[in-house]
Amino acid sequence: MVQRSAQHGHSPEAARAALAQLCQDYWPPLYTFVRRRGYAPSDAQDLVQGFFVHLLRSNACAAADRTRGKFRTFLLSSLKHFLADAHDHAVRLKRGGGGQLLPLDETLAQAEAGAVALPHEPAAQAETHEDQLFEQRWAAALVRRALERLGEGYAAEGKLPVFETLRPFIAGGSVLPPKHEQAAARLGVPDATLRSHLRRLRTRYRDALRAEIARTVARAAEIDEELRHLCDVLLKAGGNCGV
């Protein structure tokens, strides 16, 4: 997607579509990062939209070199440079010079909820942790996409109640998983069947995570490394890897 988004001179529609997908994938962590810099929700929304339009118009993604690090690192560094000139950018955006790559609705609502939920920190401490917060929001967004795909798969099989009942076992967060006997009673299955459902769910969840990660790396050999990094980020944030 990064490579396609950098080829707007050869295929502008494909480049725009690829950058729109990147915008959707990376919107939550970037929006949270900007909000933590003290911008109001509407200004943060304008700035993140403007940032992606800037990437498209300047063909900045052409400078992304996969041999020099992860794309999200390049993206965060580019955003910091963009925000360094934030006043001028904000003025242009308010005058209609930004444009939009995709509708936000639910994506914006989820990102704002995540930003508001973060604890307030002293300025110096917040600056120290802002890169870590970006990584945490990146991890959370990737997990959310994997769970959405997984839920869609269960729904297509007519097994959505199984997924909804067992999701707390893999998703972590504030919702504690029920006891095994409670989950088995809810689904009307014996304990052995429940454990079989759980094993399959964890396998499919791992596969869904790997599929999402595969979209963000250049080589299949990097998937396991990135999955380990994802789990490390989630565990350090007090979350649950679930795999």
What single-letter amino acid sits at 127?
A: E
Contacts of 180 (CB under 8 A, 6+ apart): 191, 194, 195
The percent of residues in the chain predicted with pLDDT above 70, rounded, is 68
How do residues 139-169 score in pLDDT, each as one tens digit? 888 898 899 999 999 999 999 999 999 999 9
User: Are 8 and 90 in contact, with CB atoms under 8 Å apart?
Assistant: no
Alpha-carbon distance 144 to 148, whole Å? 6
Closest CA to 196 of 154, 166, 226: 166
CA 23 to chain centre: 10
Indicate if the pLDDT at residue 125 is higher than 50.
no
**Which of 7-11, 12-16, 176-180 is most confident?**
176-180
Q: Structure tokens of 83?
A: 């925000």
Phi, psi of 173 (to 5 degrees): 80, -160
Could you say which DSSP state residue 177 is in?
A: P
Rounded CA separation 73/84 (Å)? 17
Domain ranges of the chain: 1-118, 126-243
pTM of the model: 0.69
Closest CA to 175 of 115, 105, 242: 242
